[in-house]
Amino acid sequence: MTVLVTGGAGFLGSHLCERLLNEGHEVLCVDNFFTGSKRNIAHLLSNPDFELLRHDVTFPLSLEVDQIYNLACPASPVHYQNDPVQTFKTNVHGAINVLDLAKRLNAKIFQASTSEVYGDPEIHPQPESYWGKVNSIGVRSCYDEGKRSAETLFFDYHRQYKLDIKVARIFNTYGPRMHPNDGRVVSNFIVQALQGIDITIYGEGYQTRSFCYVDDLIDGFISLMSSPDNVTGPMNLGNPGEFTIRELAERVISLTGSNSKLIFKPLPQDDPKQRQPDISYAKCTLGWEPQIDLDTGLLKTIEYFDHLFASK
């Protein structure tokens, strides 16, 4: 098939493009390079089945493809809060444009949604049936409410136009090709540890997160996209292993052999206190669950950043 991946030069998008090529598909990667990087897909450019198009999904697309994965949107608070209006436009206008394309082509379409739709949850772990607790006017709402609005659009197109949709709610994912300055906790801690500077923890470090290695997540994407038509999601994809931020920092220091110390700063507005996926639906429906433990994934990610810094 010919598969369109919007946001294909980003962290997740580049891994997805690589996997789809390995499975024998032709891949059209669309990215405006706001947070994506040509470095992430440089090794794919010589592949005759790979094509790169510089384009912003807030403008309509006129293409011929069989499937669409919509991953276009900055995913870290540092980047999506840098231009919140554009972030919301990317979520909403971008969704409308890819959905209109899928409708014209009668193509199956996948939406990369997020655990941020649950906000600062009152239910733990979070099942797909939970509607969430989100501040609609806060500094994170451009992303949180943008993704919630995109989900609304996907299900309305599904109900009204019978579009074949797949919606995944992604929990914290990490691995090679993360942006070193994206402000996300795993990349922050690894970069600080490798540079020997103090590791910054917001709050007291007792808030929890669940960390999924990128290869496991891409397996989930492919499995969900290949599932029967009546499996639309939304479906949680993430690793249910739960760790405090302080535990993560201590593991990174140990694995890097760093002398970095922990320093503490005030907790940002609307930062969730707990985040853990209930993946019962994915396990039952897809037979999917993560295989890579945190230490193994962290070592692969540390190696990537170590090589990145050495090459510079």
Distance between CA atoms of residues 43 and 167, nearest Å? 29
Contact in structure between 253 and 260 (CB atoms under 8 Å) = yes
Which 8-state DSSP code applies to residue 279? -
DSSP H helices, the chain, are 11-22, 38-41, 77-80, 84-105, 141-161, 185-195, 214-225, 245-256, 280-286, 294-311
Q: Residue 288 corresponds to which tokens in the numbers above?
A: 């999917």
Residue bearing tokens 């493809």? 65
Angle at 165 between CA 161 and CA 171, to 5 degrees: 145
Active site annotation includes 143: yes
Which tokens sit at 206?
A: 């007792």
Burial string for 284-308 (b: 16+ CB within 10 Å, else e) reads: ebbebebebebeebbebbbebbeeb
According to DSSP, the residues that pair with 108 across neighbouring strands are: 67
β-strands 2-6, 26-31: how paired? Answer: parallel
CB within 8 A of 5, min separation 6: which ones? 13, 16, 17, 20, 27, 28, 29, 30, 69, 71
CA atoms within 13 A on the CB side of 125: 20
- Kindly compute the dihedral angle of the four CA atoms of residues 178, 294, 288, 221, in this order, to the nearest 10 degrees: 0
The pair of structure tokens assigned to 186 is 């795993």
The residue from 143, 157, 213, 281 that is catalytic is 143
State the catalytic residues.
143
